[in-house]
Amino acid sequence: MPENKSRPSQEQPWENGWAPDTSRAPGTRRLWLAGGLAVATIVACVTAIALNDQPLDDTSKDRQGQTLSDGETGGGLISFATPSASGSATPAGRKSTSASPSGSPSPKASSSPKAQGSSSPNAPAKPTAGSPTRKPSDPAPSGDKRSLQSVNYPDRYWHVSGGLVKLDQPGGSESREDSTFVVVKGLSNSSCYTFATHDGKYLRHRDFVLRAERNDGSSLFKQDATFCPGYSGAPGAVLLQSVNYPNYALRQKNFQLRLDPWGYNTANRPDFYFRLVSPLG
């Protein structure tokens, strides 16, 4: 049987001749491994920093601003070049020229009076784009005298009486003269209308009532005396909307001319429609 040699008792090592190895400190191998790992980590960090700080080579400098292919990007990222406005780059030193869709230069707009159209000094300007459309049968004021006839009361016309504008039947020559107006360009908007009386006054709304008053030159008076024509739906008739109250239009109410709200839910619409006809006076 093999001899069973057990570890000598450590209680009294001086008696049996055994003593622990004291030539190296315990845990020395672990310290060496930890130190080696720390040195390797430091070396790797220093190498990465040195590579990132290297300047671009000549090839990279020459190709700045160009789009790299998928293989050249190296990271699998897709880069897109910024498109130019015309779809192609303009060579340096050359000026870009714009061409019309047909390939020829766009002709310059004619500045001659004939191309732009002419009108008499007192004629209202044609409504601009976006303004209500007038039918061909509608009367076209041209600075001449006109009378305004009610659509739902065709025997009555605008008539200045006591400084107010009412809807009356024509009477004698003096009454007919007070029912005749000169239609001129709008004092506040040349695309709209202003109505002048035979004695030099203008029709303007004040407190939403239409009156004949002298022009005091104020901006408020010019706006109050300017009315923009709109399509009424009645043949040859117009809707006259206030320039400073665009949602209000002139109407007759109890044969009195005034401003009232105008919209899709407006009742008694014919009260808002008038025809500009030949002058009574």
Q: Where are the domains of the chain?
A: 145-277
pLDDT of the residue at 76: 42
Supply the Cα-derived Rg of the chain in whole angstroms: 48
Tell me: the pLDDT tens digits for 9-22? 555 555 555 555 55
Residue 193 to residue 259: CA distance in whole angstroms: 15
Tell me: the pLDDT tens digits for 211-264? 999 999 999 999 999 999 998 888 999 999 999 999 999 999 999 999 999 887
CB of 267 closer than 8 Å to CB of 252: no
Res. 34: pLDDT tops 90 = no
Higher-pLDDT residue of 1 and 37 is 37
pTM of the complete model beyond 0.85: no
- Short-list 108, 139, 121, 266, CA closest to 190: 121
The domain defined by 145-277 folds into: Trefoil (Acidic Fibroblast Growth Factor, subunit A) (2.80.10)
Res. 120: pLDDT tops 70 = no
Residue 183 to residue 148: CA distance in whole angstroms: 11
